[in-house]
């Protein structure tokens, strides 16, 4: 397995790209309102990227067996797990839970992050619990990152939160190494694989992005070739940060001024 250990110069480049990716979400946050189309949000974010000297890594992205992705971002609503395609006729409604996933390219480096938004001021009880539980799962996974520990510790930490909250973890999608390429090794699961063969080392950079479903973990693909939904049409949530393994723990690269508050138990430990 080719896991790339980043040089100090590469880490500096990643910090800039990741900071910009998170700033895209800061920018779009006040625009996420009822009645707004997902295409309008996507176009606004792409414009912000261009104004800040970066481009979307998603637009035109085409893994083998896929058609090119048509938009600058992924916007996934309610039972959409990931890769929701922005369109002009998809309008946000009060109570919707929305994941916006952004990956930018800046000076050859990729910055990747996603964030959940709740449309309106009165979310459903289950929707609120799911969004908050997924956020907790991501941060528990981040706190498990320590040099010398197995990568699988992340999955153990994320799945423990999901299990305690009564949610399920999507198995087919997970985090990934990232740097000068969009997707690098290792693949980061958010459940316990019982595989402790990959050991975390300083200089590794990867995403932690648990996808939690309110119902069963099983998913299905829509005919557009990209959109992934829960098979039982239950609600789904995802949060994503890009992290750097350091000599003593990890550094979250996709923080920004407008990012939601870090859980108190995290700040209390540092």
208-244 pLDDT, tens digit per residue, is 999 999 999 999 999 999 999 999 999 999 999 999 9
The three-state secondary structure class of 105 is: strand
Q: pLDDT at position 266, please? A: 87
Q: What is the mean pLDDT of the chain?
A: 96
Q: What pLDDT was estimated at residue 270?
A: 58
User: Does residue 140 register a pLDDT over 90?
Assistant: yes
The whole-number average pLDDT for the span 70-92 is 98
Q: What is the pLDDT of residues 184-208, one digit of tens each?
A: 999 999 999 999 999 999 999 999 9
Confidence of residue 71 (pLDDT cuts 50, 70, 90): very high
Question: Are residues 99 and 75 in contact, defined by beta-carbon separation less than 8 angstroms?
Answer: yes
Contact 128, 137 (CB under 8 A): no
**Could you tell me the two tokens for 16?**
């800039």
Q: Give which of 48, 43, 68 is closest to 58, Cα–Cα.
A: 68
Which parts of the chain are beta strand (E)? 55-56, 74-77, 80-82, 97-106, 109-118, 168-169, 175-177, 184-188, 205-208, 211-213, 219-221, 228-230, 236-238, 241-245, 250-252
Rounded mean pLDDT, 249-270: 88
Q: How far apart are CA 85 and CA 66, in angstroms?
A: 14
Assign domain 8-269 to its CATH architecture.
Answer: Alpha-Beta Complex (3.90)
Reported as a single tens digit per residue, the pLDDT across 156-182 is: 999 999 999 999 999 999 999 999 999
Three-state DSSP state, 204: coil
- What per-residue confidence (pLDDT) applies to 264? 86
Mean pLDDT of 18-42: 98
Residue 7 has pLDDT above 90, yes or no: yes
- Give the per-residue pLDDT at 53: 98
Contact 184, 204 (CB under 8 A): no
pLDDT over 80 at 269, yes or no:
no
As a whole number, mean pLDDT of residues 9-36 equals 98
Q: Where are the domains of the chain?
A: 8-269
Q: Do residues 208 and 188 make contact, with C-beta atoms less than 8 angstroms apart?
A: yes
Q: How far apart are CA 109 and CA 183, in angstroms?
A: 11
Instruction: Report the pLDDT value the prediction gives residue 42, as an integer from 0 to 100.
Output: 98
pLDDT at 15: 98
């Amino acid at each position: 397995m080719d896991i790339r250990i980043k040089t100090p110069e590469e880490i500096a480049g990643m910090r800039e790209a990741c900071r910009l990716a998170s700033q895209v979400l800061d920018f779009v946050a006040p625009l996420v309102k009822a009645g707004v189309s997902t295409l309008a949000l996507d176009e606004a974010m792409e414009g912000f990227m261009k104004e800040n000297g970066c481009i979307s890594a998603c637009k035109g992205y085409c893994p083998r067996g896929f058609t090119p992705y048509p938009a600058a971002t992924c916007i996934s609503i309610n039972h959409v797990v990931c890769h929701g395609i922005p369109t002009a006729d998809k309008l946000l409604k009060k109570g919707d839970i929305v994941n916006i996933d952004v990956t930018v390219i800046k000076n050859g480096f990729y910055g990747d992050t996603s964030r959940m938004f709740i449309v309106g001021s009165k979310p459903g009880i289950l929707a609120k619990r799911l969004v908050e539980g997924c956020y907790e799962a991501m941060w528990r996974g981040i706190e498990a990152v320590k040099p010398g520990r197995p990568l699988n510790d992340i999955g153990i930490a994320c799945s423990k939160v999901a299990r305690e909250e009564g949610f399920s973890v999507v198995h087919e999608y997970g985090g990934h190494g990232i740097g000068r390429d969009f997707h690098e090794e290792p693949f980061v699961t958010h459940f316990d694989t019982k595989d402790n063969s990959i050991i975390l080392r300083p200089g590794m950079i990867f995403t932690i992005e648990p996808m939690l479903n309110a119902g069963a973990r099983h998913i299905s693909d829509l005919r557009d070739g990209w959109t992934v939904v829960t098979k039982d049409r239950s609600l789904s949530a995802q949060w994503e940060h890009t992290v750097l393994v350091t000599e003593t723990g990890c550094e979250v690269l996709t923080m920004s001024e407008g990012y939601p508050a870090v859980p108190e138990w995290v700040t209390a430990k540092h």
